[in-house]
Structure 1
Amino acid sequence: MSTSTTPSGDAPVTGPTATSGHLDTRGGLDRRTLTVPSLVFLIIAASAPLTVLAGGVPTTYAVAGLTGVPLGYVLLGVLLAVFAVGYGAMSARITNAGAFYAYIADGLGRRQGIGASWLALISYNAMQIGLYGLFGFALSSFLEARLGLTVPWWAAALAGLVLVGVLGVSRVDLSAKVIAVLVALEFLVVIVVNVVSFAVAPEGISTQPLMPAEFFAPGIGALLAFGIAAFMGFESGAIYSEEVKDPARSVPRATFIAVTIIALFYALSSWALAVGVGPSQIVAASRESGPDLVFVFLAEHGGVLLTDIAQVLFITSLLAALIAFHNAVARYFFSLGRESVLPSWLGAVGRRNHAPVAGSLTQSALAVVLVAVFAIAGQGSELGPLFPVLTLFTWLTNAGAFGLIFLLAITSLAVLGHFHRDPGGHSAWVRWIAPALSAVGLGTVFVLILVNFDVLIGAEGPSPLVIVMPGIILATGAAGLVWGEYLRRRRPDVFAGVGAGGTSEDVPLAASPIQGANDVRR
């Protein structure tokens, strides 16, 4: 049984749980399903270790022109670990699939929370959909090179989209198990690359890439701007807070573990690649081969079989990241639908598996539309086969990272606001020192990304995209603020419940599309 209150303030109406077919418009997510290891794998999958090594690391060497890339990952890892101090403490108090949305609503105000939710939605969608450009290109290229099959990039992308969509409407622990296998294989192949690199070492096991002078030099802005994108997804642990066992401990613990692993692994792997190619040659080689550098290196020193295995796992690495970001978007849609901030049908979950089905299908539909748009736009493009990589992937993922970094900085301010109001026995380090440091550090990285955005998207000369892409992200957040003000004035009952879903066992759930009510599970 559930109790519902009509928007007009009429007396509560009691009735059975509203259902439609296999969907439940009043149910919640599958609670207490995920363990800490499962959550760590989901977080790391979004960062895609092999994708970073194969694509991100050579690109960072090439664009920054510095060999101090390993130190960049260490510094960024420390910054994000400092962010995780307050973020983790807040996640122990607020368990909400909306994460950023709920935290900012609590710490800075409901209207700001709604603005953050719109910003999060477009940023996560941009990251997820943009990855289809690289996934489609990589799978299409591999099938043609190894099997002689000519498959358009968009068809390969849609095949991946179907698989991701199926997992998105399934139990979250199924996605976690699939991701755990894929991430483990990613780590294995990266470890092999590292071992081969240190074994070859044409200039010896040089520590040059670890020297501060190789990092603190002109080009550091581009290095940090590119480097931070490799960590995107580390904050996603809080999105699963309603589905994890013992969220007060599991989410902070998984976040710290994931950040530590990602930072150290990226630093080690980028150093190993520089050693394998040669510190004096790594920048030039990265500029010449780009994302193919790792595979060229393996072909020279590991043989064709190892190269093919690495390329297959590169594709599955992208698939794991697609699944992770898809799950994040679906839960944001669910959280906003549950609280009627967006249409309440978005809060519908599967009756048996409690997956955020409506949110998952909505995300898949958006992905289909954008992949189709870029497929049509790419017909006859002078960019040739690289069109989806240089447009869909590059434009959207960098725009998404831009938005997420901004959200991280704002969330640091929200943590300050939350603990200023309710210290809860936490130390000064947790309450304001760590959040203040992370706000300043992440704000600085945000500015660096904005200044270097032309470099990030590969623009040659002045490009309107330098203004258009960040503008779309920020304008969406501003539109969310306007919508929040509308709800405050016209739908105060909905506005009053912003960010409240999932904070206790009495969780406000989304209204059914038929009744239009705000339900409270008793």
Structure 2
Amino acid sequence: MSAPTTSTTRTDAHRRLGVFAVAFMIVAASAPLTVVAGGVTSSLSVTNVTGIPFGYIVLAVALGIFAIGYAAMSRFITNAGAFYSYVAQGAGRPAGIGSSVLALIAYNAMQIGIWGMLGFQVSSFIQEKTGWASPWWLWVFIGIIVVGVMGVNRVDLSAKVLGVLVALEFLVVIVFDIVSFANPAEGFTAAPLTPGALFVPGVGAALAFGIAAFMGFESAAIYGEESKDPKRTIPRATFLAVSVIGVFYALSSWALTLAVGPGKIENPSGISPEEAGPPLFFNFVAEHLGVIWVDIMSLLFTTSLFAALVSFHNAVARYSFSLGREGLLPAVLGTVRVRSGAPWAGSLAQSVIAVIVVIGFAVGELGWNPDNGPYAVLTLFTWLTNLGAFGLVLLMVLVSVAVMGYFARDRRDVGVGSRWVAPIIAVLALGTVWVLILSNWNVMLGQTENTPTTFILPAVLLVPSIVAVFWGL
């Protein structure tokens, strides 16, 4: 087979994405069903905090404020390396180089971490239906090939596939919400939507888990070069996505809290290890809707994970493309296929990295104690998605600082609210969340006390990024 015809530039023919297409890419990255059935259940199981729904409202407001300055800057900068280019132009090229390394590690961590949940889910479903205990990593490798093929083709193909999957996800979660509100375990209450339910011991871990559910909303600018009208498409898609995600997750996590029971959640021994995580969701579905709905939602849970993987894969590939084009990575990464405009080398590189990391975790499983729970979920998924969220929150803080620096030199026609007020509030709010994540690593990893892993994981992200800044200097 001949090599793909490549180029280092994109043309107007590659601008295929509108507001809803970009918004679907964003929402797909946050994976609604994955968040509700996987993220919220894990958060409730680990933190024992019933105020998770109010936490989503707080985070949505903070991210919405961040998006004001972010969207203002996107009107003047269109680049597939969004965070890198924003920080470079607002805070200097060395800081931009550091942020590029930070972004690459964070997005890769999020994408590869989700592979762990997908492998576990597919393996468990097949074993339940056929009795075959297939290894989780087998399905991960097959999935990497499928996502890799999609990654080197037209981005609007990915958008169309994600649009269908996301619509189905919303539908089944809405069904779950209705049934949960109609069948609360301990009676109906609005307490989970109040500040008092959130600001208790464990609030830091609760917000840390919650921010991961929004990761991907900031990726709109990555598709600026492939959008029909980036100056309008990117801001509108960003605000649409964060609004929909925030409201939807607040309502759905409230429904799940009622389904489990606030009293059971607050009791440290209330949720057993066997039902912690996704079983909280699926056990309720089995009891109130039947096995057919469990099967339907299990399949859509898998496609939800797949949709998130496609979205994050596209984001990583485009970052690699931008950095290759800038000369910060090998030049071959800065090329796209002429026909599709897809960054084929960046896509291939991301697939190879995912394979290598998954092999490492698969080998590490040999020494795992099965009584501790599913390895793919508690290590690959938990470790890397939390690492990704940690990095992306820091990136948003840096971008908010860059917004102020960019408009300080030339305020253009941007008002003081967008170039100063919103970025300052975003730095304070998201900076607080970032510190809370850093101080709650052991809680998020399910550890009763600090271990070497508690310190190694943040260092995996921070040390290379700091080194990159000095290299840039």
TM bucket (normalised to shorter chain) is: over 0.9
Identity %: 54
Are the counterparts in 2 of residues 122 and 476 from structure 1 also a CA contact under 8 Å? Answer: no
- What is the aligned counterpart of 2:152 among 158, 169, 172? 169
TM-score (norm 2): 0.95
Are the counterparts in 2 of residues 412 and 436 from structure 1 also a CA contact under 8 Å? Answer: yes
Match status 1:23 vs 2:5? yes
The separation in 2 between residues aligned to 1:213 and 1:459, in whole angstroms, is 26
- What is the aligned counterpart of 2:429 among 441, 451, 454? 441
Match status 1:406 vs 2:394? yes
Shift of 1:228: 0.9
- Letter in structure 2 aligned against 1:317: S
Match status 1:275 vs 2:274? no
The separation in 1 between residues aligned to 2:245 and 2:88, in whole angstroms, is 29
Are the counterparts in 1 of residues 49 and 265 from structure 2 also a CA contact under 8 Å? Answer: no
The separation in 1 between residues aligned to 2:229 and 2:337, in whole angstroms, is 23
Cross-structure match for 1:350: 337
Shift of 1:22: 1.4
Moved more, 86-95 or 419-428: 419-428
- Letter in structure 2 aligned against 1:258: A
TM-score (norm 1): 0.87
Shift of 1:237: 0.4
The separation in 1 between residues aligned to 2:358 and 2:206, in whole angstroms, is 30
Q: Once the two structures are superposed, what CA deviation does each residue of 1:333-361 show, in whole Å capped at 9, x if it has no partner? A: 00011121211110121121111000000
- What is the aligned counterpart of 2:276 among 290, 311, 332? 290
Are the counterparts in 1 of residues 260 and 280 from structure 2 also a CA contact under 8 Å? Answer: no
Q: Once the two structures are superposed, what CA deviation does each residue of 1:77-129 show, in whole Å capped at 9, x if it has no partner? A: 00000000000010111000000000000000011111110110011001111
- Letter in structure 2 aligned against 1:451: S
Q: Which runs of 5+ in 1 are unaligned?
A: 1-19, 486-522
- What is the aligned counterpart of 2:111 among 115, 119, 128? 128
Q: Once the two structures are superposed, what CA deviation does each residue of 1:317-336 show, in whole Å capped at 9, x if it has no partner? A: 11111111000000000001
The separation in 1 between residues aligned to 2:360 and 2:265, in whole angstroms, is 37
The separation in 1 between residues aligned to 2:82 and 2:383, in whole angstroms, is 25
The separation in 1 between residues aligned to 2:323 and 2:129, in whole angstroms, is 45
Q: Which runs of 5+ in 2 are unaligned?
A: none
**Which has the larger helix fraction?**
2
The separation in 2 between residues aligned to 1:210 and 1:286, in whole angstroms, is 21
Are the counterparts in 2 of residues 130 and 394 from structure 1 also a CA contact under 8 Å? Answer: yes
Are the counterparts in 2 of residues 23 and 357 from structure 1 also a CA contact under 8 Å? Answer: no
Cross-structure match for 1:365: 352
- Letter in structure 2 aligned against 1:290: A
Shift of 1:286: 4.7
Are the counterparts in 1 of residues 27 and 166 from structure 2 also a CA contact under 8 Å? Answer: yes
The separation in 2 between residues aligned to 1:453 and 1:442, in whole angstroms, is 17
- SS state at 1:93 partner: coil
Cross-structure match for 2:440: 452
The separation in 2 between residues aligned to 1:179 and 1:465, in whole angstroms, is 35
RMSD between superposed Cα atoms in Å:
1.5
Q: Once the two structures are superposed, what CA deviation does each residue of 1:342-383 show, in whole Å capped at 9, x if it has no partner? A: 111101211211110000000000011111111122125223
Superposed, which structure 2 residues align to 1:180-329 within 5 Å? 180-284=163-267, 286=271, 288=273, 289-291=275-277, 292-329=279-316
Q: Once the two structures are superposed, what CA deviation does each residue of 1:414-456 show, in whole Å capped at 9, x if it has no partner? A: 0011111111122111110000000111111000000001111
The separation in 2 between residues aligned to 1:203 and 1:140, in whole angstroms, is 33
Closer/same/farther in 2, CA of residues 28 and 383 from structure 1, 3 Å limit: farther
Q: Once the two structures are superposed, what CA deviation does each residue of 1:240-291 show, in whole Å capped at 9, x if it has no partner? A: 0110111101101100010001110000001111223333334455555221
The separation in 2 between residues aligned to 1:123 and 1:383, in whole angstroms, is 28
